[in-house]
Amino acid sequence: MELPKNIQHQIAQFQQIQQQAQAISMQKQGVELQIKETEKALEELKKTEEDSDIYKTAGNLLIKVKKDEINQELEDKLETLKLREKTVKRQEERIMKKLQEMQQSIQEAMQGSGTSPGLGT
């Protein structure tokens, strides 16, 4: 049974936004992972003595750095990452809301046209 053109169009749009939502969700996971890694590194740095040998990776090289310098650098990085996490979370909430609205509207349109809704959500 052929779906009406307007419903087909809505489904195509829905699938496009669903892909965007997946991409945003992966972005969020990536940022969360970086936050966890940075927090763990900061925790590990706390346990080290002030005069310990600490290095920063620069490609294949390791460059010696001072503890307070790298500590500050990681704190700054963490702050930026947390800000980024907030933004991505907001984006995710917005897109999920849009998806729900679209799903509802497609289901209503399908019921109206007598076809059964079968979206993979």
Q: Give residues in contact with another protein (CB under 8 A).
A: 34, 37-38, 40-42, 44-45, 48, 52-57, 62, 70, 74, 77, 116, 118-121
The distance in angstroms from the start CA to the end CA of the chain is 21
Token code pair at residue 4: 């009406």
Instruction: Please state the closest distance from residue 118 (CB atom) to another protein, in A.
Output: 4
Q: Measured from the CB atom, is 42 or 109 closer to another protein?
A: 42
Instruction: Please state the closest distance from residue 110 (CB atom) to another protein, in A.
Output: 11
Which residues have C-beta within 8 Å of that of residue 103, sequence separation ≥ 6? 14, 119, 121
SS3 content of the chain, % helix, strand, coil (to 5): 75, 10, 20
Instruction: Please state the closest distance from residue 28 (CB atom) to another protein, in A.
Output: 15
The answer to whether 41 touches 112, Cβ cutoff 8 Å, is no
Cα–Cα distance measured from residue 44 to residue 28, given in angstroms and rounded to the nearest whole number: 24
Instruction: Please state the closest distance from residue 24 (CB atom) to another protein, in A.
Output: 16
Q: Measured from the CB atom, is 73 or 93 closer to another protein?
A: 73
Q: Measured from the CB atom, is 90 or 113 closer to another protein?
A: 113
Q: The tokens 């209503």 sit on which residue?
A: 108
Q: Measured from the CB atom, is 73 or 90 closer to another protein?
A: 73
